[in-house]
Structure 1
Amino acid sequence: MKKIAVLTSGGDSPGMNAAVRAVAKKAIYHDLEVFGVYRGYEGLMSGEIKSLKLEDVGGIIHRGGTILGSARSEKFKTEDGQLQAMNNLNNFGIDALVVIGGDGSYRGAQALHKKGIKTIGLPGTIDNDINGTDFTLGFSTAVNTVIEAIDRIRDTATSHERTFVIEVMGRDAGDIAAWAGLANGAESIFIPEKTTGKEGMIARLKQGFERGKKHSIIIVAEGVGTAEEFADYIREHSSYDARVTVLGHIQRGGSPVGFDRILGTRLGAKAVELLMADVAGKALGLEKNEISVHDFDYVFQKKASKRLEEFSKLSMELSM
């Protein structure tokens, strides 16, 4: 093996740059030539491939987003799109590809692997919804961003004795809501994995205010519904004033926390090691603080998280 490429795909997440840096530096250390693919699979099809030198990845470990850019691509899902991407890799003489992204990115990596391109997948998504890893790149940073935002919201909520309904990212996964809710002492947490009636939310609000609480925090993952819908329900079924905050894409941005920088570094370096050992068609993760290696088919299974159930239950018990 002489040449390795790396790309980031799907939604950006803090820690991607740390992984790109580790792939490049590890490869160069072992006298391999490394290339960056810009704009994900779209760039792979259009030939946006450039050699990466040490100076290209210096000073990026602390930066959010991805220096390689990212784009979602419907064309790459087709046979023609994949063949076009393969031709570009072959034209550059690239032997292997490291793909950093989520489920869709992994499926693209698997498709290329089946066509003869050696691929390794790294879990890059703030949603923490990839099977085969306890944590994904960017999740810890996103949770900390939400925690900081809620801390600020709580100050004004207390001053005006209000209830705030806060909508966080999580279309199919409630990890951000569950972790941030527990860390912030939220009265209620609503996540896609667990059906919870709004009636209990009203009951807990009443109990809290009756014993003198000055504020209440409700956290809603976007996959459950909008914050406005929950606020309307509170207004209709109680006498409390409910305000809404939608955190949106601020959860994706910002400098990665230490955990994500280290995780990206460990995963990126391990990817190069495996490819040098002729191991490919695998997805890496972190399980029990050790780097894990799984087949792509295993990763595509739905992630089961007992921790979410535990966090939701604990949050409800401690919100009394």
Structure 2
Amino acid sequence: MAPKTSPTPYDRARKAYSSLQYERLKADCQEYLPSVLLGGAKAVMKEAVSASPKDAEAIKKLFPSTCDIPLVEFEAGTPPAEKAPVKVGVVLSGGQAPGGHNVIAGIFDGIKAWNKESVMYGFLDGPHGVFAGNFVVITDEIMDGFRNTGGFDMLGSGRHKIETEEQFRDSMTVCNSIGLDGLVVIGGDDSNTNGAVLAEYFKANGCKTKVVGAPKTIDGDLKCPPHIPVSFGFDTACKTYATLVGNVAVDALSAQKYYHLVRLMGRSASNIALEVALLTRPNACLLGEEVAEGKQSLKDITMDLADMIEARSKDGKETTG
């Protein structure tokens, strides 16, 4: 089935807001902009980021058209006088992370400041929306209804991948029909890998659409210092969890008779658990990587915790934990 190439009417506007959400909608986040983006910036081409020697050949084989493209950095300067309008698409991919709507808002505000005739398109419900051509035109009214708010409900997200030749071809057909100058994939490691493969396909087939990845994952497992020091969403998630764990700790002190076990999300990377532990100082913190490295069984972990409780009891701390 051929993909759609015309916009879908937007019907996902929020119907009601709390008083806190109203305050957030009105908040001005310009003060958080990096100084280099205030008053205009210029893009500077730098030398391509080289792959590690052991992976260089494999990467070149997988990404022959894009493996050696220049690194682009922004520097303070005067933007060009003639600024033609641009068309940019955005797609949310994978699980939710705090800040997703403001990433979209930042892109929207940026292209409108570049040229007020610029247009943003939002692909609905994840990567499937790209190759199916399920997209909307994002207007000021739509954008202003989601600024500074959580969730990914403005466009919806999904865990689909663009994998088959037909899906790559349909994605290019949709982007060409809209005339997209850029497509921003807001997602984690899998989503950005998929975006890199899509960028390779576009460049190899002469499509003008540039694919850009915005690193999103609350797990904090998408890093490439100094280029990606941290993914957005991680800090907010950790502080939110720390607040909840801190409340449990206060409850433990109040009850004077229980130990509480709190399970935090995180796949193979235990970055969230470790960061929250550093913020709240629990009596014990179990990290998946350490459990795997030590080949610990459930019995081993249980015995370690029991020994810790016994040691605390001997120190007169038996009633809190």
TM-score, length-scaled by structure 1: 0.63
Q: Would you say the 8 A contact 1:112–1:118 is kept in 2?
A: no
Taking only the aligned residue pairs, the percentage that are identical comes to 27
How far off its partner does 1:8 sit? 0.9
Q: Does 1:69 align with 2:165?
A: no
Alignment-derived partner of residue 100 in structure 1:
186
Aligned to 1:85: 171
The aligned counterpart of 1:205 is 309
Tell me the matched-pair count: 215
Aligned counterpart, 1:134: 229
CA distance in 2, matches of 1:107, 1:8: 14
Q: Is 1:13 aligned with 2:100?
A: no
3-state secondary structure, aligned to 1:97: strand
Shift of 1:2: 2.4
The one-character-per-residue Cα deviations of 1:221-248 (angstroms, maximum 9, x if unpaired) are: xxxxxxxxxxxxxxxxxxxxxxxxxxxx
- SS of the residue corresponding to residue 188 of structure 1 reads coil
**Larger helix proportion of the pair:** 1
CA distance in 2, matches of 1:215, 1:6: 49
Asked whether the equivalents of residues 15 and 61 of structure 1 are also in contact (C-alpha less than 8 Å), the reply is no
1:59 deviates by: 4.6
Q: Which runs of 5+ in 2 are unaligned?
A: 1-84, 203-208
Q: Separation in 1 of the partners of 2:174 and 2:243?
A: 44
Q: Root-mean-square deviation (CA), in Å?
A: 1.7
Give, as a single letter, the amino acid of the residue that structure 2 aligns with 1:83: R
Opposite residue 118 of structure 1, the aligned amino acid is: K
Distance 2:285 2:127 in 1: 36
Larger radius of gyration: 2
- Please state whether the residue corresponding to 1:163 is helix, strand or coil: coil
Shift of 1:114: 0.7
Distance 2:312 2:165 in 1: 58
**Match status 1:27 vs 2:131:** no
- Alignment partner of 2:141 out of 55, 68, 92: 55
What is the DSSP-based 3-state SS (H/G/I as helix, E as strand, rest coil) of the residue aligned with 1:145? Answer: helix
Unaligned runs of 5+ in 1: 217-320
Please point out which of 239, 242, 248 is paired with 1:147.
242
**Which structure carries more strand by proportion?**
1
Match of 1:167 in 2: 263
